Structure 1
Amino acid sequence: MSKFAFNEAVEAELKDLHRGLHQALDELETRKNYREAGVILKQMDARFVELINFAKVSKP
């Protein structure tokens, strides 16, 4: 896998999104709560879009 460089804010956002993914999986697998899983995944999608749109690409 390629190595990526990013700042602490991006790292924190990615870690939070990772936690959200596990929360959605738990809602699906353990609780069979599809509605809540959908809500979480939609929130994550919006945050991913924000992260992608505001990320700046640095050239080596």
Structure 2
Amino acid sequence: MVLILLVGVLVLAVGGCVCVVWASRGGPRWVRGAARATLLAGEGVRRLPRNSGRNSSSGADGPDGD
């Protein structure tokens, strides 16, 4: 099930990239809309807070540097 979900996300990402390239070369209106949606989704993902994977409760990584 997870594999199908990942393949679906990959297909959407590749399709979005194709639409962005096609729209930059003057594609039809629906391609420009799909490209705009892809670029907006990319901006949204870029603005998400990142989790560095570190455990913030650890004393060694504390803000006072002890």
Tell me the TM-score range normalised by the shorter chain. 0.3 to 0.5
Decide which structure has the larger Cα Rg and report it. Answer: 2
Instruction: Name the structure where helix makes up a greater proportion of residues.
Output: 1
TM-score (norm 2): 0.42
TM-score (norm 1): 0.46
Choose between structure 1 and 2 for higher RCO, CA contacts under 8 A separated by at least 6 residues.
Answer: 1
